[in-house]
Structure 1
């Protein structure tokens, strides 16, 4: 039924300009504004990810966007140097720099965008 569809993801923020600055200047992504005033993150190999304004935005309590990386420690240090703060959790447990090194899955580190949405970098081979 939908096997030929090209799905895309979207999520809300409370301030488009702060979101644009973060995704473009901090994360280094290509960000464009479409005709409807919605931001589109241009990512390798996929449909754009839409970020739309919502006055009564409530941050997601789950990971809305994962960025695969080959060296998570290097990426965490790079993002920290740009002012990104990583989350620390007891379950799953993160280490002192914010990385969850889990025996049953890949290493992952979570951080938030200016609207409080949870993002991650996740190590892939």
Structure 2
């Protein structure tokens, strides 16, 4: 049967050493290095995300990890200071301001950026 309490998500990275540095030192997450260069992000009590190396890695074209923040402007500014650049969107359904933040009446403020392997990550104001 399904072990609900053990469900986890995963995605690949081109270089897990770069990913380790980014997730630990830039984002400040708890990261564990395991066998075969597999990383485990420990999110909260029991929840985890696995990042595994893949030689022919292709970046995800969608958000692979959403990170809740209480103040999106402060979070964007803090990550900018650490060298993170935010993605700009100018689509009919998705527009970002000069900071890379999408603010509209349809949902919470959000901003997107990429990790060293170009996977898309998002900040979401809660």
Relative to the length of structure 2, the TM-score reads 0.92
- Conserved in 1, the CA contact under 8 Å of 2:16 and 2:37? no
Query: Residue 2 of structure 1: CA displacement?
Result: 3.2
Separation (CA, whole Å) in 1 of partners of 2:3 and 2:21: 35
TM-aligned CA distance change 1:11 to 1:100, over 3 Å: same
TM-score with structure 1 length normalisation? 0.93
Please identify which structure carries the higher helix content: 2
Q: Deviations over 1:17-72 (max 9, x none)?
A: 11011101100111111234310011124421100000000000000000011100
Q: Where do 1:1-125 residues align within 5 Å?
A: 2=2, 4-91=4-91, 92-124=94-126
- Structure 1 unaligned residues grouped into runs of 5+: none
Query: What is the CA distance between 1:10 and its match in structure 2?
Result: 0.3
**Cα distance in structure 1, aligned partners of 2:48 and 2:3:** 18
Q: What is the count of residue pairs matched by the alignment?
A: 124
CA distance in 2 between counterparts of 1:3 and 1:34 reads 22
Which one has the bigger strand percentage?
A: 2
- Residue segments in structure 2 that go unaligned for 5+ positions in a row: none
Q: Distance in 2 between matches of 1:28 and 1:46?
A: 18
The 4+ residue runs of structure 1 with deviation greater than 6 A are none
